[in-house]
Structure 1
Amino acid sequence: MPIFINDEQIFSFVFPAGESHVRISPEMIKPITVIEAWLYKAEDIMALLLSVDAIHRFSLGVKIHLTIPYFPYARQDRVCNQGEALSVKVMANLINSLRCDRILVIDPHSDVTPALLDNCQVKTQADIIFDSVLKNILIEDNWALVAPDAGAEKKVLTVAQRLGLRDVFCASKIRDSKTGKITDTTFHDEVKGRKVLIVDDICDGGRTFIELGKLLREKQAETIYLYITHGIFSKGLQALNPYFDHIYCYHSFLPITEENQDFITVISSHDRHSQPS
C-alpha cells in the first residue's frame, strides 16, 4: 500500500535484494506535512521510515502529522506465551522514533496502542459510525448491536451510547492462544425478528464472525449486518456471504475488483486500498 505526503503518493520500489527505496520531491513538503501511511506489509513500514528521514533532510523544522489507519502489530498487545515479543511496543517504538508532532490512529485494537505512542490521537468506532451512512440506518429501526467477545464490548457500548441505541448484546468465544484458532462460540440473548449489527475493529479470516453469524441465523435474527473498521478479509468475502446481509468497513485490504458493492460498503472517503503501491 502506498504512502501519501500531502495527498501525493511517494515514489517507491524494492531492490532485488529486498531493500526498500523511496524518493520524494521538495514540492511535496510544507511547513506542516501530512503523511497518510497505509501499512499492510513490512516494506510499507520501511517506506514510511525512509520517507520521514527524507523529509527531515529537507528541513528539520517541518512539523509532521502522521495518520496510520491500520496500526500494524496492534493485535499483539500482550505476551500470551513465553518466548513471544510484545510486538505492539516494538512497532510503537519505531513510530515514536520518527518524532512526529501528531499521530492519528484509526480505531486501534485496544488502549495499549495509543498509550505507547507519543502525541497520539484516536478516531474511534463511535466517531466513524456516527459520521457514516450507518448512523441513520441504525437509529431509524432501533437495531441491536452485538459485540463478538468481551474485549469488544466496551467499544460497542460506546457506539450504542453515541447513537442512543438501547440494546447491546455480547457473545463469547474461546481461542487457543498458541494456534489462534477459535474452539467455541456462544450467544445466549434473544434476537428473533431483530435487526442486528455485529461491531468489531478487525476482520481477518472471518472465523469469529462466521461462527457468530451462524448462531444469529439459528436464533432467527431478521437482518444481520457486520461492521468492521479494518477489513483484511484474508480469505475473501465468499465465506461470509451466507451469514450476513451486508458488510460495512472503514477500509478494505481487498483489491477493488474483489469487492461486490451489493454486499460490502467501504465508508471511508480516503480509502487508498485500490491504488497501486
Structure 2
Amino acid sequence: MTSAPVTTALSEQSDSLMEGSAAPGFKLLSGTANAGLAQEISRHLAIDLCKVTLSRFADGEIFVRIDENIRGQDVFIVQSTNPPAENVMELLLLIDAARRASAARITCVMPYYGYSRQDRKDQPRVAIAAKLLANMIETAGADRVLGIDFHQHQLQGFFDVPVDHLYAAPVFVNHYRKKNLKDPVVVAPDAGAAKMARGFSRRLNGSLAIIDKRRPAANVAEVVNVVGDVKGRDCLLVDDMIDTAGTLSEAARALKRLGAERVFACATHALLSGPASQRLTDSPIEEVTVTDSIQVRPERRFEKLAVLSVGELLAKAIRFTHSEQSVSSLFD
C-alpha cells in the first residue's frame, strides 16, 4: 500500500453545535466526495465524524478501513455519487466495511444520486444505470437510503429498501423571500420541472410559467416558447441540477426577450460541467443559487454563484431517522 491515507479531516471536532446531542449508538461516516458537507452535518448534529482511513494502492485501487468500533451501531454514511466513478466505489466499500463490522443498521446518505438521468431504456441496447446503482447499494448492505431532489421521483421505486426523499425547496425559499421579488414568476425550464416550480410558486406567492424546449442533441437545448406572463416581473428559474447550463442560459435569454424584469436561477445539484460557468456568467441571470450537495470546486465557481448549505436539513433528517421520527414532518 502506498503513501498516507487521503482522508479529508474526517474526525475534526466541530465548534458550533446544534441544540441537543446525538443519542448513543449513532455513528456518522464520510467518503471523500464531499467532506465539507459531512463536516457541516456533524457540526449540526454535535458529534465527531467517525475515523475512517481511505487510501490508494499503487495501481489506484481504493482501500477502506473504519478505525472505530461500530458493532451494533446505527451508521450513516455520507457520500454523493457524482463523477469521478471512484465516489461510487468508495460508497460501496464503506457500506461493505460497515456491514462486515456488524453495524446494526446502515443508512446511505446520498445528497446527489449520480447516474439518475439514466433511468429508462429510451434507446436500443443502453444500460439503466440508475437501477444498477440502486442494486449495487443494496447488495453492498445498505438498509436505508436518504437523498435530496432525485432527478425523477420514481427513482425511489428502484430500491427495495426504505428511501427518504428530501427537498431543498425550504432552503431556497428562505433565501428568495429575503430578495423581495417583484410580482414573482417561478419558471420551469422544461415540463419535467413543472411540479417543482409549482411548489416554489406556492411558497413564494407567485405565479407559474413553463419553458417549451426541445433537445436536438444531448446537452443541447433550444427554447421554442414560454407559456405564461413574465413581462415586467421578476423570474425565478428552478431545476434539480445544472450540468452544462445550456437550458438555463437559453431560458434566461428567452425570458429577457419577453420583458422579464430580473432573472434568477436555482438548482439543487451543481454539476457545472464543461462551459457551464462561462455560460452562466454571460447569461442575463443576476444570481445562480445552488446547494452544497455536490462540492463545487474553486475552478467552477464564478461571481454570480451563491452556494447554500443543506447540512442542517440533512442533520435533522438523520436525527429523525435515528430516533424513528417522521422525516416528512420537516416539510409540513
How high is the TM-score relative to the length of structure 1?
Answer: 0.85
Q: What residue number does 1:248 align with?
A: 289
Q: What residue number does 2:210 align with?
A: 170
| Counterpart code for 2:287 | H
2: CA distance, partners of 1:167 / 1:29: 52
Residue range with higher mean Cα deviation, 12-21 or 82-91: 12-21
**What RMSD in Å do the two structures reach over aligned CA positions?**
2.5
Gaps of 5+ in 2: 1-32, 43-47, 313-332
Gaps of 5+ in 1: 272-277
Shift of 1:8: 4.5
Alignment of 1:125-274 (within 5 A): 125-130=168-173, 132-137=174-179, 141-161=182-202, 163-176=203-216, 179-234=218-273, 235-241=275-281, 242-251=283-292, 252-256=294-298, 258-260=300-302, 262-270=303-311
Q: How many pairs are equivalent?
A: 265
Shift of 1:170: 0.3
2: CA distance, partners of 1:236 / 1:180: 11
Gap change, CA 1:92 and 1:128, over 3 Å in 2: farther
Question: Which secondary structure does the structure 2 equivalent of 1:171 belong to?
Answer: strand
- Of 89, 107, 114, which aligns to 1:72? 114
Q: What residue number does 2:105 align with?
A: 63
Question: Which secondary structure does the structure 1 equivalent of 2:140 belong to?
Answer: coil
Residue range with higher mean Cα deviation, 38-47 or 68-77: 38-47
Q: What residue number does 1:120 align with?
A: 163
Question: Which secondary structure does the structure 2 equivalent of 1:64 belong to?
Answer: strand
The answer to whether the 8 A contact 1:198-1:225 is kept is yes
Gap change, CA 1:201 and 1:119, over 3 Å in 2: same
Fraction of identical pairs, as percent: 26
How high is the TM-score relative to the length of structure 2?
Answer: 0.72
Residue range with higher mean Cα deviation, 200-209 or 92-101: 92-101
Gap change, CA 1:128 and 1:100, over 3 Å in 2: farther
2: CA distance, partners of 1:263 / 1:145: 19
Confirm or deny that 1:38 pairs with 2:77.
no
Shift of 1:9: 6.7
Question: Which secondary structure does the structure 2 equivalent of 1:48 belong to?
Answer: helix
Gap change, CA 1:217 and 1:127, over 3 Å in 2: same
Alignment of 1:79-98 (within 5 A): 79-98=121-140
